[in-house]
Amino acid sequence: MNSTDYLEFEELFTLIKTYIISKWQLEYNNNNKGHFCKSVCPIVSTDIKYVEAYRHKEVQISRLRLGVANTNHRLFILKRHVNGLCNKCQVKETIHHLLLECNKEDISGILRNKCQLYTDELSIKTLLSVNLYQNEVYRLVSKLLVDRFYKSILQGC
């Protein structure tokens, strides 16, 4: 066929994919759930969001990105912590608190200084999306999050 009035399969596929992703983005934006995930990844796509060769780090950072890391608040929801409060600050210990506000072992101070050093905005999105900060977050909180999960199991809280 010599006509140019038809779409090649690849063009059709691209149009369909664009349409589906725009519809998905609209539903994602209009849904009231998933505020934390939206703060980390506001744009939907079929791309793999995070890959890491070291499996333990990949799991820990992915759990943080998905908002299901073992913070005291999360353990409280799972009935594995008495009140869900940060042991040091006595406020609800969420991922946001742990990374941006907590005084425990100066986690938030170290992350704030690193963002200032590289003139990046201190935010959940920056800390959990940029490799440089992911490494620091992993170094600072992974042992804490894993240890307390096993501790909560052993205590049967």
CB nearer to Zn ion: give 41 or 94. Answer: 94
CB nearer to Zn ion: give 86 or 99. Answer: 86
CB nearer to Zn ion: give 86 or 145. Answer: 86
CB nearer to Zn ion: give 52 or 101. Answer: 101
Among 17, 23, 56, 88, binds Zn ion (CB under 5 A): 88
Alpha-carbon distance of 48 to 61, in angstroms, equals 14
CB nearer to Zn ion: give 88 or 143. Answer: 88
* Residue 76, φ and ψ in degrees, nearest 5: -65, -45
**According to the binding rule CB under 5 A, does residue 37 interact with Zn ion?**
no
For the bound state, the minimum distance from the C-beta of residue 111 to Zn ion, rounded and expressed in Å, comes to 13
Positive or negative: CA dihedral 24, 32, 59, 153: negative
Count CA within 13 A, CB hemisphere, residue 144. 18
Instruction: Specify the 3-state DSSP secondary structure of 20.
Output: helix
DSSP state letter for 104: G
For the bound state, the minimum distance from the C-beta of residue 90 to Zn ion, rounded and expressed in Å, comes to 8
Cβ-based neighbour number of residue 154 at 10 Å = 8
Count CA within 13 A, CB hemisphere, residue 119. 0
Q: How many residues bind Zn ion (CB under 5 A)?
A: 5
Stretch that binds Zn ion, among 6-14, 94-102, 108-116, 131-139 (CB under 5 A): 94-102
Q: Between residue 103 and residue 122, which ones bind Zn ion under the rule CB under 5 A?
A: 104
Contact status, residue 63 vs residue 71, Cβ threshold 8 Å: no
**According to the binding rule CB under 5 A, does residue 89 interact with Zn ion?**
yes
For the bound state, the minimum distance from the C-beta of residue 152 to Zn ion, rounded and expressed in Å, comes to 17
Count CA within 13 A, CB hemisphere, residue 53. 0
- Point out which residues bind Zn ion (CB under 5 A): 86, 88-89, 102, 104
